[in-house]
Structure 1
Amino acid sequence: MLSDIKIILVETSHPGNIGAVARAMKNMAMHRLALVNPKIFPSAEATARAAGADDILAKAVVYDSLVDALADCQVVIGASARSRTISWPELTPKACAEMIASDVSKPSVGVVFGREHSGLKNEELDLCRYLLRIPSNPEFSSLNIAAAVQIVCYEFFAAQAVVEESRIGDKGESPLATAAQMELFYEHLHQALLDIGFMRPERSNTIMRRLRRIYNRIQLDTKELDILRGILRMAQDHQKS
């Protein structure tokens, strides 16, 4: 399970935090680190703070955008300490780890951590299926990013020992859709809803954000995604005729 989890840091401003995250990951036998537009990397300070986890830094992949970093992920989880006006399905680190550990399809997972001072933007959380919140003192809830990663990685490490192998119904014959496949679906859905006159362009952002919440809750697999896109194509063709 641990090899299927990618820790993703968005626009990290302090290179020492990258090194500390690498150390936290290696403590918990995790090695997939992705960096989206880090301010400074590589860095001697990151290497020093890694304290022996240099191999994690050496294999870290730098991306220009979060969309690119998530392209191969089937389950995307965004970590945030801030409350949001639009609700996402929320998980604690323990519940998140248990959910992933019990999934026999062994999905590729991306766990996204935002900027040190401002976290993730709403449009970045739009790419996430779940919101991960670490229970803490409500009067002082902001954690150092390395501390937050350490807590989350520990729960994943601990959960692998209690994996449940039973699954009712669907046995996971079709793999879960990746983030890249879901983005293509959302683009298709947006265009189809405009084509059939369901929504106006000026209101499309609000409606699409709500629709993302719906589809992100259900964990579509690739076969289900093909069916939905087939329905969209038929609706578009019917509108043209």
Structure 2
Amino acid sequence: MSIENSEPNAPSNPLSNARIVLVHTTHPGNIGAVARAMKNMGLQQLYLVKPKAFPHERAIWRSASAVDILDNAVVVETLEEAVADCGLVVGTSARGRRIPWPLVNPRVCAEKVYPELAQHPVALVFGREDRGLTNEELQACHLHVNIPASEDYSSLNLGMAVQVVSYELRMHHLAMQDQLSTDEMQEWDTRMARVDEIERMFVHLEETLIEMDFLNPAAPKQLMTRLRRLYNRTRMDDLEVQMMRGILTSTQQWVRKARDK
């Protein structure tokens, strides 16, 4: 699976399509804390639904070096405006609802959200500091995410909640990057050598070593076994095998000419 989707408008970094939406935030400092959490995790889009006070110096102070997130924040009047162009909307929910809704933890949320980021913006919606999202707002979401905090003390401030959800999204992003980076041969310039080609090279190598009097066929010991182990530690492509065969052929010709003198 490639991080860069084949869609013509797919973003080079899917996280750029992750949108944090804050609904009716009361304290401007919390907006700053959210901006900082977002920048820590590589998220850029911040939408504010009717915040009580924004712009505000306290938001700037709490954002530390994430003022650019605040500068680019989009302020709208309704949740509908904030998510109108999104293909998936995820609402944070701290409690069970009368009507069951698809509910996941942040890790599973990241797994579900990430593949869609290459196709369209995805909104992660966070509610008011004191009471979260209303039932009506939650019903506007496709999916609900709940942070499984300790039952003894489950209170999370807004910045912490955004940090947790954003962290899981970033970790999934990094895992996908690592998965791609482990495929060392994905952009190789030629095909890998076949087993039969490698075997012919080993036969050619053994013949050459015998001609050079480096290998005594009557007492070979473990020479060819160790050479096999040496070459097999690196996968050879077809051009590399051809180069080796060319070197061995030239070596044989040199040995034969030396003997003929």
Moved more, 33-42 or 81-90: 81-90
Of 87, 90, 104, which aligns to 1:74?
Answer: 87
Q: CA deviation at 1:102?
A: 3.6
Say if 1:7 and 1:118 are closer, same or farther in 2 by CA, change over 3 A: same
Q: CA deviation at 1:104?
A: 7.8
Moved over 4 A (4+): none
Aligned partners of 2:106 and 2:165 also within 8 Å: yes
CA distance in 2, matches of 1:25, 1:115: 18
Q: Normalising to structure 1: TM-score of the pair?
A: 0.66
Residues 104 and 110 from structure 1, CA distance in 2 versus in 1: closer, same or farther, beyond 3 angstroms?
Answer: closer
Q: Which residue does 1:133 correspond to in 2? A: 146
User: Within 5 A, what are the aligned runs for 1:91-170?
Assistant: 91-103=104-116, 106-163=119-176
1:81, 1:142 within 8 Å by CA — same for their partners in 2?
no
- CA change 1:104–1:47 in 2 (3 A) is closer
Larger Rg computed on CA atoms = 2
Q: Specify which structure has the bigger relative contact order, considering alpha-carbon pairs within 8 angstroms and separated by 6 or more residues.
A: 1
Cα distance, 1:100 vs structure 2: 2.1
Contact 2:36 2:65 in 1 (8 A): yes
The alignment's C-alpha RMSD in Å is 1.5
List gaps (5 residues or longer) in structure 2: 1-13, 181-261
Query: 1:106: Cα distance to partner?
Result: 3.0
Alignment partner of 2:96 out of 73, 83, 95: 83
8 Å contact 2:19–2:45 — kept in the other structure? yes
Alignment of 1:170-189 (within 5 A): none
Please give the TM-score of this superposition, normalised by the length of structure 2: 0.61
Instruction: State which of 19, 41, 44 in structure 2 corresponds to 1:6.
Output: 19
How many aligned residue pairs are there? 165
SS in 2 for 1:76: strand
Identity of aligned residues (%): 49
1:126: how far off? 1.1
Give the whole-Å Cα distance in 2 for the aligned partners of 1:30 and 1:105: 14
The Cα of 1:84 is off from its aligned counterpart by 1.1
Give the gaps of 5 or more residues in structure 1: 166-241
